[in-house]
Amino acid sequence: MEKFDLIIKGGTCVLKSGLKKRDLGVRNGKIVVLDIGSEHPATKIIDASGLHIFPGLIDTQVHFREPGLTHKEDLASGSLAAVQGGVTTFLEMPNTTPPTTTKESILEKIKLAKSKSLANFGFYMGGTAENLEELKKAKDIEGCCGIKIFLGSSTGNLLLYKREKLEEIFKNTTGIIALHSENEEMLVQRKSIRDNAKTAHAHPEWRNVETALTSTKRVIEIAKECKRKVHVLHITSKEEMDFLAENKDFCTVEVTPQHLTLSAPECYDKLGTYAQMNPPIRTVDHTAGLWGALKKGVVDVIGSDHAPHTKEEKDKGYPNSPSGMPGVQTIFPVLLHHVQMGNLNLEEVAKYLCFNPAKLYGLNKGHLENDFDADITIVNMNEEVEIKNEDMASKCGWTPFDGYKYKGKINYTIVGGNVVVENGVVNSSHFGSPIKVNQRKF
Task: Specify if 435 maps to a domain.
Answer: no
Q: Do 87 and 21 have their domain in common?
A: no
In 3D space, the residue among 304, 383, 270, 290 whose CA is nearest the CA of residue 344 turns out to be: 290
Who's near 310: CB < 8 A, 6+ residues apart?
71, 72, 395, 396
pLDDT score at 94: 97
Q: Do 303 and 321 have their domain in common?
A: yes
Q: How many domains does the chain have?
A: 2
Q: Do 221 and 319 have their domain in common?
A: yes
CATH of the domain at 419: 2.30.40.10
Task: Specify if 221 maps to a domain.
Answer: yes
CA distance 57 to 349: 10
pLDDT tens series, the chain, 442 aa = 689 999 999 999 999 999 999 999 999 999 999 999 999 999 999 999 999 999 999 999 999 999 999 999 999 999 999 999 999 999 999 999 999 999 999 999 999 999 999 999 999 999 999 999 999 998 889 999 999 999 986 555 578 888 999 999 999 999 999 999 999 999 999 999 999 999 999 999 999 999 999 999 999 999 999 999 999 999 999 999 999 999 999 999 999 999 999 999 999 999 999 999 999 999 999 999 999 999 999 999 999 999 999 999 999 999 999 999 999 999 999 999 999 999 999 999 999 999 999 999 999 999 999 999 999 999 999 999 999 999 999 999 999 999 999 999 999 999 999 999 999 999 999 999 999 987 554 4
pLDDT score at 191: 96
The torsion of the CA quartet 420, 421, 427, 433, rounded to 10 degrees, works out to: 20
pLDDT score at 155: 53
Q: Do 94 and 27 have their domain in common?
A: no
Q: Is 14 helix (H, G, I), strand (E, B) or coil?
A: strand
Task: Specify if 391 maps to a domain.
Answer: no
Taking each helix axis from N to C end, the angle separating 209-225 and 163-172, rounded to the nearest 10 degrees, works out to 50
Q: Vertex 440, ends 433 and 377: CA angle to 5°? A: 55
Task: Specify if 442 maps to a domain.
Answer: no
Phi-psi label, residue 213: left if phi above 0, alpha if psi -120 to 50, beta otherwise: alpha
Task: Specify if 161 maps to a domain.
Answer: yes
Task: Specify if 397 maps to a domain.
Answer: no
Q: Do 154 and 28 have their domain in common?
A: no
Q: Do 147 and 31 have their domain in common?
A: no
pLDDT score at 438: 73
- Contact between 108 and 167 under an 8 Å Cβ cutoff? The reply is no
Who's near 5: CB < 8 A, 6+ residues apart?
26, 27, 28, 42, 43, 44, 417
Q: Vertex 109, ends 59 and 396: CA angle to 5°? A: 55
CATH of the domain at 352: 3.20.20.140
Q: Do 170 and 240 have their domain in common?
A: yes
The residue type found at 363 is L
How many C-beta neighbours within 10 Å does residue 379 have? Answer: 27
pLDDT score at 440: 52
Q: Do 114 and 219 have their domain in common?
A: yes
How many C-beta neighbours within 10 Å does residue 133 have? Answer: 10
- Contact between 355 and 301 under an 8 Å Cβ cutoff? The reply is no
Q: Do 140 and 251 have their domain in common?
A: yes
Q: Say how far residue 192 (Cα) sits from the centre of its chain.
A: 32
Q: Do 48 and 122 have their domain in common?
A: no
Whether the bond into 308 is cis, omega within 30 of 0 = no
- What are the two backbone dihedrals, phi and then psi, of residue 223, each rounded to the nearest 5 degrees? -60, -40
CA distance 201 to 166: 33
Q: Do 214 and 246 have their domain in common?
A: yes
> Domain range for residue 326?
56-361
Task: Specify if 432 maps to a domain.
Answer: no
Q: Do 78 and 49 have their domain in common?
A: no
Task: Specify if 342 maps to a domain.
Answer: yes
The residue type found at 74 is D
